[in-house]
Structure 1
């Protein structure tokens, strides 16, 4: 749950805009300047910095924002303690390098002065560990304050969003017209004693079972979603009493990979609903799951029937659910080329 909320946080910035964040930084630096350089605020007595205090302050600022903008963002993109300690260590090395460069090289060239006249490597590294700690702590503290505000704010937003999305999702799990038409078709099959009636009942049972039970889960096995798609295709064939020509290609390295329900099937439903299908113009469906990457492509010829949004849960709802479950780890492309409709979905499952 923590990782899920963390991913959502990375998508939304809430009321703390970039301008407000810059203002917070400005106030933060005013406070640091005040407690560093003001000795007596009543008499306006300021501490006069020397050359190496200025160089330290420059290194302080550079390391502060290196840690704030790069390290903390990388660490919390996929948080674990090893990444945190590694990030802190990298910031320490950056601080040490910048300090050596500025106080032992640049000042030597410009002012013929160095801060350390006799450098012992171990002592120098330990000394900079002490000096860099304040930079890293203050940078981490500010990042955590802004992060916590955004996270707390979005916790409330995501609860409301999930509730609204769930309502839309449950309402649109299956098209009632599809069920009614299928039942009428099954009735006709039974009445005329068609040998396809039992198959149609079985496929409708699979679909209703999936809709009733599997769709309530946060994640299901990939094979379950594929079985649902196959049942839907077969039922369409039986319902229309003709072959709904579908070229289904599967290359699943791990069929037990877990995905949210109804992530793939809406694209298939849309193709079956709006596609012009024949032996020469099949619906092309290609699903690959290799090395933790899911690639799903659906292509169909556009029919003459009335177009609307994606069947099932709808395109907007699908995109919203993809953003919630796979923020910055998915890509959905919908293209129309002449009389062809193509949907391509890529998801990084790692």
Structure 2
């Protein structure tokens, strides 16, 4: 059905196990209990017809039926397999055995009695063939659905990243434009920082996970760009408490909270934006606190934060908690992630 689902080798193995079990129970029931250790002629021919019908129904009928499934196609396929079984049994037990062993299984049967008798004998072959086909089909279907879910998940992550990157770059270019417009000597430094961030965006962001230290460096570069726009350079209080900077996290999982604070918060020496990162025993806590500028109505959302929530649901389902509170003109964003 799809590359990566149940392979032909595994399918063959399932068939081998199936026939081993069938042979074992047939031997116990028909041979041991009946004390007849060797199958007679017509039991042998029946087994041959059984196997041939089984695989005719498995490889031909079921494949054609499920190209475009309809119940009438399914029952028509069962009817075809029944006629196939009946014809083979007549060929083996009424023609071939007559020529080779001078024996026949049915002595002058009527057409209807012969068809009715084979309706019973053919049913087991057709039913068991259908059941085995359904089992393998649904195993493949489950695996295929899992692959589709995984691909959709990866596609959604890439889409969300694509939304984050232009959003950040748009804001940064606006900042640099202002610097250049007012002939600020900080514009060249800002361009250098933007170049550093673009390298991260181009290479690191394409990875599924990056080291925590890379995300921190990215945040610091982002902060420095923002600080270049302000007269005071100590308006950010960034604290990191961890002994393991090599712990891996998805890119852009922390920075949207910082971006939101810098965009909507007051930045000054008197009221600095507080950023605190703590990692202990695989539990990551990231908190950003900022006073809200009166002229900037802080939102508990936006493209960056909405995307962050979606990506957290994808990467850390049931293993994260994000709290966004707005009290007394102070906005607090706290993210907790269980990295285990």
Summarize the alignment of residues 1-350 of structure 1 with structure 2, pairs less than 5 Å apart. Answer: 153-175=145-167, 176-188=169-181, 191=183, 194=185, 196-243=186-233, 245-304=235-294, 305-308=296-299, 310=301, 314-350=304-340
Cα distance in 1, alignment partners of residues 246 and 156 from structure 2: 29
Mark the CA change 1:343 to 1:326 in structure 2 (over 3 Å): closer, same or farther: same
Contact map agreement 1:165 1:317 (CA 8 A) in 2: no
Cα distance in 1, alignment partners of residues 152 and 297 from structure 2: 33
Which segments of 5 or more consecutive residues in structure 1 lack a partner in the other structure?
Answer: 1-145
Which segments of 5 or more consecutive residues in structure 2 lack a partner in the other structure?
Answer: 1-137
Cα distance in 2, alignment partners of residues 246 and 151 from structure 1: 49
Cα distance in 1, alignment partners of residues 153 and 286 from structure 2: 26
SS at match of 1:202: helix
Contact map agreement 1:266 1:310 (CA 8 A) in 2: no
Contact map agreement 1:295 1:346 (CA 8 A) in 2: yes
SS at match of 1:298: strand
Aligned residues: 202
Cα distance in 1, alignment partners of residues 254 and 139 from structure 2: 33
SS at match of 1:344: strand
The worse-fitting range, judged by mean Cα deviation, of 269-278 and 160-169 is 160-169
Cα distance in 2, alignment partners of residues 147 and 319 from structure 1: 33
Deviation at 1:208, TM superposition (A): 1.2
Mark the CA change 1:165 to 1:218 in structure 2 (over 3 Å): closer, same or farther: closer
Deviation at 1:164, TM superposition (A): 3.4
Contact map agreement 2:212 2:249 (CA 8 A) in 1: yes
Deviation per CA, 1:58-77: give whole Å up to 9, x if none. xxxxxxxxxxxxxxxxxxxx
Cα distance in 1, alignment partners of residues 260 and 280 from structure 2: 25
Deviation at 1:150, TM superposition (A): 6.8
Mark the CA change 1:237 to 1:206 in structure 2 (over 3 Å): closer, same or farther: same
Larger RCO, structure (CA 8 Å, separation 6 or more): 1
Deviation at 1:158, TM superposition (A): 4.1
Deviation at 1:147, TM superposition (A): 11
The TM-score normalised by the length of structure 1 is 0.52
Output the aligned Cα RMSD: 2.7
Deviation at 1:314, TM superposition (A): 2.2
Bigger radius of gyration: 2
SS at match of 1:239: coil
Cα distance in 1, alignment partners of residues 143 and 320 from structure 2: 22
